[in-house]
């Protein structure tokens, strides 16, 4: 087994944590995502981060929020979403997580279960989901008009549904009326983005993929990576089965 120091050195290389490994183009960013399988937008855990790998000064030094995004590469996240086979659900506890189609397939059973629970629960959230099932993916303005919702009411409905994967907010590029390129947002159900059930997947396989993406991570973090609960004994069992290793107490890495 590699030592913790060796794993952290490998993590620094594979997760592009040093300036000499800075992403130089959007194509490199896409290749980075496809190699890791998933990326957070900003740095908030051991999971690899798109903007951390840019190694660029913030857009607005000293300001929070968007001001901390890279000065010239702040638009890369949106551009990645428009590439084939890349998705950006908010399943990182309500934050965007860029995933490949393969990683999305691991989350598929979890998101479909949440979709079923939300429909069965009834109420306004179920009404929104039923409307999308009948009308198809819809723009935000259209939904507000058709469901007679204010922007605030629609946000309150979609937030919990996006967090658990039942609902997607997607960037949709189109041509402007007077020429040029515009991007709008539309909402879609998970089963509209992925019509065919993936089958094999679930929290166990998703955790394994995430640990592999991070190379090595503190055990205490893993349960906070996704919107879905991680069984308390999962890491211990995966280590016991040889699918994860513990280079030191409190740390896990892919076997």
Q: Which of 193, 227, 247 is the last residue of a domain?
A: 193
> Are the beta carbons of 129 and 138 closer than 8 angstroms?
no
Q: Are residues 178 and 129 in the same domain?
A: yes
* Unique residue bearing structure tokens 């402007």: 176
| Predicted confidence (pLDDT) at residue 199 exceeds the cutoff of 90 | no
How many CB atoms within 10 Å of residue 151? 11
Is the four-CA dihedral 50, 52, 54, 59 of positive or negative sign?
positive
Q: Are residues 77 and 118 in the same domain?
A: no
| Predicted confidence (pLDDT) at residue 173 exceeds the cutoff of 70 | no
Task: Indicate whether 94 belongs to any domain.
Answer: no
Q: Are residues 160 and 212 in the same domain?
A: no
User: Using one digit for the tens of pLDDT, what is the confidence trace for 30-57?
Assistant: 999 999 999 999 999 999 999 999 999 9
Tally the residues of the chain.
255
Share of the chain above pLDDT 70, in %: 95
Residue 239 makes CB contacts below 8 A (sequence gap 6+) with: 245, 246, 252
Share of the chain above pLDDT 90, in %: 85
pLDDT at site 175: 57
Task: Give the three-class secondary structure for 245.
Answer: strand
Task: Indicate whether 211 belongs to any domain.
Answer: yes
Q: Are residues 187 and 207 in the same domain?
A: no
Q: Are residues 177 and 223 in the same domain?
A: no
Task: Indicate whether 230 belongs to any domain.
Answer: yes
Q: What is the CATH number of the domain that holds 145?
A: 1.10.10.10
| Predicted confidence (pLDDT) at residue 178 exceeds the cutoff of 70 | no
Higher-scoring residue by pLDDT: 191, 60: 191
Q: Which of 193, 215, 236 is the last residue of a domain?
A: 193
pLDDT at site 29: 98
Give the range of the structural domain holding residue 74, as residue numbers without chain letter: 1-83+202-255
pLDDT at site 170: 83
Residues facing residue 244 across a β-bridge: 254
The pTM score is 0.92
> Tokens representing 236?
């211990």
What number is the average pLDDT over the span 151-158? 95
Q: Are residues 187 and 242 in the same domain?
A: no
Which residue from 169, 33, 158, 24 is spatially nearest to 96, judged by alpha carbons?
169
Task: Indicate whether 98 belongs to any domain.
Answer: no
Q: Are residues 131 and 187 in the same domain?
A: yes
User: Using one digit for the tens of pLDDT, what is the confidence trace for 83-131?
Assistant: 999 999 999 999 999 999 999 999 999 999 999 999 999 999 999 999 9
Q: Are residues 136 and 169 in the same domain?
A: yes
Number of domains in the chain: 2
Q: Are residues 174 and 208 in the same domain?
A: no
In order, the DSSP letters of 38-60 are EEESS--SSS-BTTGGG---BSS
Q: Are residues 115 and 181 in the same domain?
A: yes
What number is the average pLDDT over the span 132-160? 95
Task: Indicate whether 89 belongs to any domain.
Answer: no
User: Using one digit for the tens of pLDDT, what is the confidence trace for 204-249?
Assistant: 999 999 999 999 999 999 999 999 999 989 999 999 999 999 999 9
Q: Which of 146, 163, 193 is the last residue of a domain?
A: 193
Residue 102 makes CB contacts below 8 A (sequence gap 6+) with: 37
Task: Indicate whether 103 belongs to any domain.
Answer: no
Q: Are residues 48 and 71 in the same domain?
A: yes
Task: Indicate whether 68 belongs to any domain.
Answer: yes
Q: Are residues 177 and 206 in the same domain?
A: no
- Distances, alpha carbon 21 to alpha carbons 11, 35, 88, in Å: 12, 14, 24
* Unique residue bearing structure tokens 């658990």: 164
């Amino acid at each position: 087994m590699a030592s913790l120091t060796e794993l952290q050195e490998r993590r620094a290389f594979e997760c592009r944590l040093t300036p000499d490994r800075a992403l130089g183009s959007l194509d490199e960013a896409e290749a980075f995502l496809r190699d890791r399988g998933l990326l957070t937008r900003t740095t908030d855990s051991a999971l690899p981060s798109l903007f951390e790998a840019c190694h660029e000064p913030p857009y607005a030094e000293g300001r929070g929020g968007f001001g901390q995004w890279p000065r010239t590469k702040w638009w890369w996240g949106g551009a990645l979403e428009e590439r084939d086979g890349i998705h950006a659900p908010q399943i990182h506890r309500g934050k965007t997580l860029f995933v490949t189609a393969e990683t999305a397939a691991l989350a598929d059973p979890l998101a479909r279960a949440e979709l079923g629970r939300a429909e069965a629960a009834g109420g306004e959230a179920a009404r929104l989901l039923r409307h999308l099932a009948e009308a198809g993916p819809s723009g935000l303005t259209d939904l507000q008009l058709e469901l007679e919702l204010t922007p605030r009411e629609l946000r309150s409905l979609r937030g919990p549904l996006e967090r658990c994967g039942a609902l997607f907010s997607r960037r949709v590029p189109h041509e402007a009326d007077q020429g040029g390129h515009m991007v709008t947002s539309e909402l879609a159900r998970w089963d509209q983005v992925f019509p065919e059930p993936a089958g094999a997947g679930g929290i166990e396989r998703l955790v394994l993929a995430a640990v592999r993406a991070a190379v090595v991570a503190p055990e205490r973090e893993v349960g906070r990576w996704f919107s879905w609960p991680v069984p308390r004994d999962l890491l211990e069992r995966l280590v016991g089965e040889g699918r994860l290793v513990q280079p030191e107490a409190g740390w896990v890495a892919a076997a």
